[in-house]
Amino acid sequence: MRNKTLTFALALALLSLSFHAAAETAAPSADAFTLTDVPSTFEGLITEVDSGYFVMNAVNEGSVRANLDDTTVYEGTVAKDTLAVGQYVYVLYNGVMTRSLPPQISAQKVSCFKVTGTVTSLMDNGFLLEGDTVLGTVVVHTDATLPPVFLNVPVTLYYNGVMSMSMPPQISAVHLVVPELEGTVTDVTQDSFTLTSANGTAFHIALSADTSIASSPTDGARMVVYYNGQISNGADVDALVVASSSVDNTPAETTQN
């Protein structure tokens, strides 16, 4: 009976040591990583670029840091040395993401599909763009979430890499950059007015026979001016389109390609 008791105690001791060793060699806590066994993709705008990584505002996720190394593949119109703030990218990673702030991933592939040109025709669900250095003329499909476009306005757009084999090719824009100025109107004349942004910068807006006036500028009105992306002498802008601002009392922004 005594031998049986000793044997049982020894077995309990060994079992206790086994559990202790297993605890010491356990996998990292779920608080450290989000793990899946399926590769995933984030998409969104780059907000910061640094050596070996960039930060993006990922759709449905928010700020994410994408770490780069020698194995990272680049696709489309982007390379490691051409990554820039404002680009809309797709990042493929292995499903592992840290729970840091911001969370971090290891980028296996970074894709960016960019088209630049001038709007030459408007359609019910998009527009015709001409002048891209690679694609030439492209039919661009848009939706209500994207900024408005007007004839003769230069735009830069990003799409998901899917393109029809038609002539001209057709794509669907996911992000659209249109050169615009927004602010409050003063000093209206027949051929010009002053547009002052929220930060106090005053722009001299020149009007011509080629300017499309969607809404007439009046003193005190908040307006948006679409232009060709060029500002002469730091303040002179040739307006392509003048329209009412859709948002009142918001900070003015200057957007250039």
**pLDDT tens, residue by residue, 206-240:** 999 989 898 899 999 999 999 988 899 989 999 99
Q: How large a percentage of the chain has pLDDT more than 90?
A: 72
Question: In 10 A of CB 169, how many CB atoms?
Answer: 15
CATH for 114-177 is: 2.40.50
The number of beta carbons lying within 10 Å of the beta carbon of residue 194 is 18
> What is the residue extent of each domain of the chain?
33-112, 114-177, 180-255
Q: What is the DSSP letter of 61?
A: T
Domain range 33-112, its CATH number among 3.30.1600.10, 3.40.50.300, 2.40.50.140, 3.30.390.10: 2.40.50.140
Q: What residue type is assigned to position 209 of the chain?
A: A
pLDDT, tens only, 29-81: 445 566 666 889 999 999 999 999 999 999 999 999 999 999 999 999 999 99
Query: In CATH, what number does 180-255 get?
Result: 2.40.50.140
Instruction: Write down the number of H helices and E strands in the chain.
Output: 1, 20
Pairing of strands 88-93, 104-112: antiparallel
Higher-scoring residue by pLDDT: 80, 21? 80
